[in-house]
Structure 1
């Protein structure tokens, strides 16, 4: 009897929680999971944008979608949101630990390392790494109780794997301001990979797989100077489009990757291969 390999990529009826689901990448991740058949929980601190994403899914894709508010730096908020999902669906099959925080003070965020404030460091570490700990902790509890286990995918960054080439940022602007990539971003995103490795072995016996995806630079409003500088560092000669990140997520969320855990899929146009 022939086996259907493509069927393994289907997520029909699965319950997927996506943090940062209203973001630049997050909305594409939500669309992709819904397109594969999942019921998608669009989790974001910006509930208005999350509702817009959920509405698009309900109109254009086969999966259901619900927008949920959550402050991922608050354990009480995380617990409440996770319980909402369990109360409605009874289980959580997929967690995409995707959200990354935005600084409340961009001048402090982009400050030189020698002048970096500890308060800013702690704020970004809380948003980018503490939040993933809280989500994995409370969704992991749910998955451990399930006979089917689950799949957790965490979003890191190419700058959690490689140091940024500071030359790229000369004359580079994003949303009309000079930018760089601060050390806290690299440190927090590297921590995501460490947490992924740890949890992959910790929960392996419970049927919970834990993997990471690491996007390279994605076009999202940078000026032409940045795009040119960055593209010149990429073997494929260009920045990524947001939708190009989605295939790896569907693979890791689905049974197509049933024997894959503790891995990091880097989607960077070949940057790390130089």
Structure 2
């Protein structure tokens, strides 16, 4: 979310990688009331191959969703969304997204997407000049829609799998491929020229924009049977959607649905 806060070790010590879901905790409390020690069969069983560290990830989700988001990110996002004028919010989104256009140019090129690469380059030039440093998306008005690509999608295009799913404290969901490659996108101009403070502000604005965009989904998430699984499956589907430019193979799409139904069972 706002920035990559690395205090995983501390949270492991305090929460433990074997932290259980709310339902599992209720079961344990019932067992303790009956003075019967919980057996191994009473412990939560996780069998999602995409999520081999689910116990740890659920602990991080509990921290992110029930504490960090509930008491800080959600109030900030709603206040920003309710009281900041729409033109300013749109300008902030445009400005932050414009900084990523050069990396999209390179990443599209590395995948042989020449037209998309030219579009990304054209968008950066047009929006950085006529669009007042990216505050106004003039390129989109001219028919040049955004063709965002990350280096993670580049290596995925050449066959590197997602790898295990992780729920990071404060930052949110990621797959291993993204964790290993996201830093490369920051090496390109103009991101490479930003100071540490400027980059923190950029990440904070990017996180704020993402959190505001998620407001319409809050009720759906809150009413889901298992919010953790809901977010995980939605995120992994989005990773595949971006990797295949919206054309996810039908077999893979069906497998994702089957995995989600299996988790609910």
> By the TM > 0.5 criterion, same fold?
no
TM range (shorter): under 0.3
Based on CA coordinates, which of the two structures has the bigger radius of gyration?
Answer: 2
Q: Which has the higher helix share?
A: 2
